[in-house]
């Protein structure tokens, strides 16, 4: 039980989770401004503005730097992890989403005729644009810096 108590007292973890949840909540606000309707599904989906993945790992890296030190191996590990996650969010996952969109278009055209293949659509909103990743990054950094004033 001591390990669970230590996890529950981990300020850096809670700040990173807060940044992630804030990014997910902001997706609802962005959807409201953009489409003039509330989309609660945005709370539970990947992709969109801002990147919750980027906010999460940026807050984590900054929190580790603030608590363990900017020159420590722990910060280096957190920073490298954050860079990989953000690169993946804007690169690999974005490309997979574009491929899904093209495959869905092909399937739509293919099924205009009578074929008997699986018609399940692929999820297109997988990744982020670079600006979504950058906004998520700055959100995570800001949340971590603001939280540092509370302890």
Cβ-based neighbours of 9, under 8 Å, separated by 6 or more:
none
- Stated pTM of the model: 0.77
Sign of CA dihedral 132, 96, 31, 81: negative
Site of tokens 């995570």? 140
pLDDT attached to residue 57 = 98
How much is the pLDDT for 48?
Answer: 84
pLDDT (0 to 100) of residue 40: 83
Q: For 44-95, what is each residue's pLDDT tens digit?
A: 877 789 999 999 999 999 999 999 999 999 999 999 999 999 988 887 766 6
pLDDT of residue 90: 80
- What is the tens place of the pLDDT at every residue in 11-29? 999 999 999 999 999 999 9
Residues in the chain: 151
Q: What pLDDT digit, counting tens, does each position of 97-128 carry? A: 667 777 767 777 666 766 555 556 545 555 67
Is the N-terminal amide bond of 50 cis, ω within 30° of 0?
yes
pLDDT score recorded for residue 120: 60
The predicted pLDDT at position 121 comes to 56
124 vs 148 pLDDT, higher one? 148
């Amino acid at each position: 039980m001591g390990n669970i108590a230590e996890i529950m007292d981990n300020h850096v973890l809670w700040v990173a989770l807060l940044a992630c949840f804030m990014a997910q909540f902001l997706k609802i606000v962005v959807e409201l401004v953009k489409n003039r309707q509330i989309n609660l599904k945005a709370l539970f989906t990947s992709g969109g503005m801002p990147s919750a993945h980027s906010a999460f790992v940026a807050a984590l890296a900054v929190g580790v730097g603030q608590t363990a030190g900017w020159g420590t191996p722990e910060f280096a590990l957190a920073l490298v992890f954050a860079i990989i996650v953000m690169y993946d969010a804007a690169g690999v996952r974005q490309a997979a989403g574009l491929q899904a969109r093209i495959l869905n278009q092909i399937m739509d055209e293919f099924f205009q005729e009578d074929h008997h293949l699986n018609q399940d659509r692929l999820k297109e909103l997988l990744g982020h644009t670079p600006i979504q990743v950058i906004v998520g990054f700055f959100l995570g950094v800001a949340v971590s810096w603001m939280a540092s004033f509370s302890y």
